[in-house]
Amino acid sequence: MPDLERDLALLAVVVDVPEERALVPAVRTRLGQHDVRRHVVPWRRAAVIAALVLVAGLAATMAVPDARTAVLRFFGIKGATVIRVDELPPAAPAPPEFGESVQVREAERVVGFRPLLVAGRSPDDVRINRFSPYFVVLVYGEPGVRLRLIEMVGGAIEKYVLTRQPVERVDVNGEPGIWVRGRHVVSEPLGLPRLSGNVILWEHEGLTLRLEGRFEKEQAIDLARSVK
C-alpha cells in the first residue's frame, strides 16, 4: 500500500489535471429541460397511443361481424361469460361425465372447498380432475341425468347463445346470476365445446356455479337458492 501511495503522488506531478468544472448550473439547466419534457411529451405520446389503440380495436371489431356482435352484446359474471352470436359454433353432443368419480369428502380434499349441495340432497355422482383441482361436478338423477352442478374457483366458462335467445340477469339470494334458456354451446375448463340446454349461473362466496337441467326459469332460481 505505501508503494501505491508513493506512485500516485509521483504521478500527480507529471499528469496535467483539468480545472474543476462548475457542474451545478449545467445540471440545473438539464433538469429544467427534463421537467418540461416530462410534463409535455409523455402526455402527447399517451394520447397518440390511446387513439391508435382505439382505432385499431374498432377496425378489428368491425371487420368481423361475429366479433362485433360478441363485443356489443354480452353478459358476464365472475368466471363465466355469455356471448351472443348470429350462429352457434360447432359443438359435440353432451359427452359422458368426465374425470374421476369420488365421494364428496374426497372431492372436498382435492379441490380445497366444501362442495355445495342442491337442497341438501346427496348427489348420485361426484366428478373431479386431479390435474385441474379447481372445480367439481355434481350429478343428480342417474342413470338419466336431470341436474348437473359445476362449482369452480378458477378457470372460465363461456357460453355462446343466439342473438334472439332469452338471456336474463337474475338474483340468487342477493348474488348476481344469469339465466339462459334453450339450446346453446358451452365451453368449460376441460373438454371440447358441447351442446347444452337450460342453465342458470351465479356467484356465491367466491365460487362460480353453473346448474344445468330440465327446468324453467323460476324452478331454476328456486334450485339455485337451495344450493348450500
124: left (phi over 0), alpha (psi -120 to 50) or beta: alpha
Q: What is the pLDDT of residue 104?
A: 95
Neighbours of 107 (CB within 10 A): 25
Q: What is the pLDDT of residue 107?
A: 96
Q: 3-class secondary structure for 185-222? A: EEECCCCCCEEECCEEEEEECCEEEEEEECCCHHHHHH
DSSP annotation of 69: H
Burial label for 28, CB within 10 Å (0-12, 13-18, 19+), is exposed
What tens-digit pLDDT sequence spans the chain (228 residues)? Answer: 544 454 444 444 434 444 545 545 554 555 454 443 343 334 344 443 443 433 344 333 333 444 444 443 567 788 888 999 999 999 887 666 678 999 999 999 999 999 999 987 899 999 998 988 888 999 998 666 689 999 999 778 899 999 989 999 999 999 999 999 999 999 887 677 889 999 999 999 889 999 999 999 999 999 999 999
Residue keyed to cell 371440447? 192
Residue keyed to cell 350462429? 87
C-alpha closest to that of 119 among 99, 147, 151, 93: 147
Q: What is the pLDDT of residue 56?
A: 40
Contacts with 66 (C-beta within 8 Å, 6 or more apart), sequence order: 85, 86, 87
End-to-end Cα separation, the chain, in angstroms: 80
Residue keyed to cell 328456486? 222
Q: Are strands 175-180 and 199-204 parallel, antiparallel or unpaired?
A: antiparallel
How far is CA 181 from its chain centroid?
Answer: 24
Q: What is the pLDDT of residue 29?
A: 54
Q: What is the pLDDT of residue 120?
A: 75
What are the residue ranges spanned by the domains of the chain?
A: 17-63, 73-226
Size of the chain, expressed as the number of residues it contains: 228
User: How far is Cα 94 from Cα 196, in angstroms, rounded to an integer?
Assistant: 7
| pTM for the model | 0.66
